Structure 1
Amino acid sequence: MLPWLVVALGLCAQLGTALPPRRMDTVLQMVEALEAAEELSLPELARALGSCSTPGCLAVLGDPPAAPPDLPALSPEQRALLTHLLRPDPAVPERGAVLAPDGSTVALAPLLAGVEVGLRMAGGWPGPTPEPPAALDALYAVTLTEALGMAFLLAHAHNHSGATLGPSGCWDDVENPQNFTLLGPPSPVPEAVANGALDGVLLGARLAKGPVPLAPLLRSYYGTDNGTASGRPPSSYRRRDFGALTGLKKLEEEVVAMLRLLRVLPPTRGLLEDVGEEEEGAIARRAARDFMETFVECPAIVPRCMWGARPYRGTPKPLSLPLGSVYIHHTFVPSAPCRTFAACARAMRSMQRFHQDTRGWDDIGYSFVVGSDGYLYQGRGWHWVGAHTRGHNTKGYGVGYVGNFSATLPDPDAIALVRDSLLPCAVRAGRLRHDYALRGHRQVVNTSCPGDSLFQEIRTWRGFQ
Structure 2
Amino acid sequence: MCCSAAAVLLLLAVLSAGIQAAPLPHHVSSLIPILQSLEADDIPNIPSLVRALGGCKTPVCHAVLGDPPPIPTPIPELWMLLAHLLNPNTTTAAHGMVLAPDGSTVALAPLFAGVEVGLKRAEGWPGPIDQPYSDLDALYAVTITEALGTSFLMAQLNGTAALGPDGCWDDVDNPQNFTLLGPPSLIPDAVANGAMDGVLLGTRLAEDPVPLSILFRSYYGVDNGITSGSPHSSRRRRDFGSLMAVGKLEEEVAVMLRVLRGLPPTRELMEELGEEEEADIARRAAQEFMEVYVGCPAIIPRCMWGARPYRGTPRPLSPPLGSIYIHHTFVPSAPCRSFSTCARDMRSMQLFHQDTRGWDDIGYSFVVGSDGYLYQGRGWHWVGAHTRGHNTKGYGVGYVGNFSASLPDPEAIALVRDALIPCAVRAGWLHQNYTLHGHRQMVNTSCPGDALFQEIQSWHGFKGCGRARSIRAGRTDNIIGAEAEVRV
Which residue of structure 1 aligns with residue 149 of structure 2?
149
Residues 145-184 of structure 1 mapped to structure 2, 5 A cutoff: 145-158=145-158, 161-184=159-182
Distance 2:132 2:446 in 1: 62
Q: Could you say what secondary structure the match of 1:50 adopts?
A: coil
SS at match of 1:264: coil
Q: State the TM-score, normalizing by the size of structure 2.
A: 0.88
Aligned to 1:84: 87
Distance in 2, matches of 1:68 and 1:164, equals 38
Residues 74 and 40 from structure 1, CA distance in 2 versus in 1: closer, same or farther, beyond 3 angstroms?
Answer: farther
Pair 96,203 (structure 1): closer, same or farther in 2 beyond 3 Å: same
Counterparts of 1:127 and 1:15, CA distance in 2: 37
Answering whether residue 35 of structure 2 is matched by residue 31 of structure 1, we say yes
Distance in structure 2 (CA, Å) of the matches to 1:145 and 1:298: 20
Amino acid paired to 1:274:
E
Where does residue 117 of structure 1 map in the other structure?
117
2:34 alignment partner AA: M
Instruction: State the Cα distance separating 1:144 from its structure 2 match.
Output: 0.4
Structure 2 unaligned blocks of 5 or more: 1-14, 464-488
Aligned CA distance change for structure 1 residues 134 and 276 (closer, same or farther; 3 Å):
farther
Secondary structure, aligned partner of 1:439: strand
State the partner residue of 1:436. Answer: 434
Q: 1:375 aligns with which of 373, 376, 400?
A: 373
Matched ranges for 1:3-402 at <5 A:
17-39=21-43, 41-70=45-74, 72=76, 74=78, 78-79=81-82, 81-85=84-88, 95-132=95-132, 135-158=135-158, 161-227=159-225, 231-402=229-400
Moved more, 277-286 or 414-423: 277-286
| Rounded Cα–Cα distance in structure 2 between residues aligned with 1:133 and 1:227 | 38
**TM-superposed deviation, 1:363:** 0.6
Deviation at 1:264, TM superposition (A): 1.8
The alpha carbon displacement at 1:298 in A equals 0.2
Deviation at 1:73, TM superposition (A): 6.4
Tell me if the contact between 2:85 and 2:98 (Cα under 8 Å) persists in the aligned partners. Answer: no
Output the CA distance in 1 between the equivalents of 2:79 and 2:259.
Answer: 39
What's the secondary structure of 1:434's corresponding residue? strand
Aligned partner of 1:37: which letter? D
Deviation at 1:216, TM superposition (A): 0.5
Is the partner of 2:223 in helix, strand or coil? coil
Could you tell which deviates more after superposition, 34-43 or 194-203?
Answer: 34-43
Q: Distance in 2 between matches of 1:224 and 1:83?
A: 19
Q: Distance in 2 between matches of 1:92 and 1:131?
A: 37
Q: TM-score, normalised by structure 1?
A: 0.93
- Determine if contact 2:26/2:85 at 8 Å carries over to the other structure: no
- Deviation of 1:329 after TM superposition, in Å, equals 0.1
- How far apart are the structure 2 equivalents of 1:431 and 1:198? 26
Using the aligned pairs only, state the percent identity.
70
**Which stretch of the first structure deviates more once superposed, 47-56 or 221-230?**
221-230
Cα distance, 1:16 vs structure 2: 5.5
Q: CA deviation at 1:406?
A: 0.4
Q: For 1:51, what is the secondary structure of its paired residue? A: coil
Deviation at 1:282, TM superposition (A): 0.7
| Contact preservation (8 Å) 2:24, 2:85 | no
- Quote the residue 1:418 is aligned against: 416
Report the CA distance between 1:15 and its aligned residue.
Answer: 8.1
Q: For residues 91-149 of structure 1, give each alpha carbon's deviation from its aligned partner in whole angstroms, at most 9, with x where no partner exists.
A: 97752100000000000000000000000000011101314266211000000010110
Shift of 1:405: 0.4
Q: Deviations over 1:413-464 (max 9, x none)?
A: 0000000100011111111000111000000100000000000110001110
**Aligned alpha-carbon RMSD (Å):** 2.1
Residue identity in the other structure for 2:244: T
Q: Which blocks of at least 5 consecutive residues in structure 1 are unaligned?
A: 1-10
In structure 2, what is the Cα distance between the partners aligned to 1:316 and 1:432? 20
369-378 vs 47-56, which moves further: 47-56
In the alignment, residue 81 of structure 1 is paired with which amino acid?
H
| 2:479 corresponds to | none
Letter in 2 for 1:308: G
Distance in 1 between residues matched to 2:257 and 2:16, nearest whole Å: 42
Q: Give the aligned residue type for 2:141.
A: A
Deviations 1:214-235 (A, max 9, x none): 1111111001012479631000
In structure 2, give the amino acid aligned to 1:418: V
Shift of 1:63: 2.1
Give the C-alpha shift of residue 41 in structure 1.
3.7
Q: In structure 2, the residue corresponding to 1:178 is in which secondary structure?
A: coil
> What secondary structure is seen at the aligned counterpart in 1 of 2:331?
coil
Asked if structure 1 preserves the Cα contact closer than 8 Å seen for 2:86 and 2:96, the reply is no
Q: 2-side partners of 1:450 and 1:462: how far apart? A: 17
Letter of the structure 2 residue corresponding to residue 332 of structure 1: F
Q: Secondary structure at the match of 2:186?
A: coil
Which residue of structure 1 lines up, in the alignment, with residue 482 of structure 2? none
Kindly provide the CA deviation profile for residues 235-254 of structure 1, in whole angstroms up to 9, marking residues without a partner as x.
00000000000000010011
In structure 1, the residue corresponding to 2:403 is in which secondary structure? coil
The alpha-carbon deviation at position 83 of structure 1 amounts to 4.8
Cα gap change, 1:370 to 1:227, in 2 (>3 Å): farther
